[in-house]
């Protein structure tokens, strides 16, 4: 298996945002491998091990899923709905991401079964603090095998 413990699946259609997230994780010492897909349909294919994602060595089942709310082709809410309707994915925490937070979206995310909601920001210190809170309070408490692995 690739370096790190527990692959992170990032569904993000904006390459710049995906790059920023990956760079931020790396700069904080997170060493979990990150697999990036560009939309909800690809996230579903990845989870099913379908199409180009059949090789589970190269594309292991994720231990954390990050979904951009505003993606083409199924979007974050559609993908979250698909995931939460399948009990085989109950053990995987799902965090929704958005750059344009709306209170109704946050409420909807939690009602649909999201484990957390993260606002994408250019303020890396703030973003890092939020990721660390998610790691401690969501992942370690409820999903001990999904926690982020840091280089120290």
CA distance 29 to 4: 11
Contacts of 121 (CB under 8 A, 6+ apart): 99, 127
Annotated domain spans of the chain: 8-145
pTM, 2 dp: 0.84
Per CATH, the number for 8-145 is 3.40.50.2300
Summarize the chain as % helix, strand, coil (round to 5).
Answer: 45, 15, 40
Q: What is the pLDDT along the chain (152 residues), one digit of tens a residue?
A: 334 458 999 999 999 889 888 887 787 777 789 999 999 999 999 999 999 999 999 999 998 999 999 998 899 999 999 999 999 999 899 999 888 778 888 889 989 999 888 887 766 677 677 777 666 655 555 555 554 444 43
């Amino acid at each position: 298996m690739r370096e790190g413990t527990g692959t992170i699946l990032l569904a993000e259609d904006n390459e710049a945002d995906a790059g920023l997230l990956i760079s931020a994780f790396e700069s904080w010492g997170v060493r979990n491998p990150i697999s990036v897909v560009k939309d909800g349909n690809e996230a579903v294919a990845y989870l099913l091990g379908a199409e180009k994602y059949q090789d589970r060595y190269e594309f292991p089942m994720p231990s954390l899923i990050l979904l951009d709310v505003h993606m083409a082709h199924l979007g974050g809410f559609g993908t979250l709905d698909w995931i939460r309707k399948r009990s085989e994915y109950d053990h995987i925490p799902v965090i929704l991401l958005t750059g344009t937070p709306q209170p109704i979206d946050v409420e909807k995310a939690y009602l649909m079964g999201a484990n957390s909601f993260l606002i994408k920001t250019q303020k890396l210190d703030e973003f890092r603090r939020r990721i660390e809170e998610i790691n401690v309070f969501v992942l370690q408490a409820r999903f001990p095998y999904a926690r982020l692995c840091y280089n120290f």
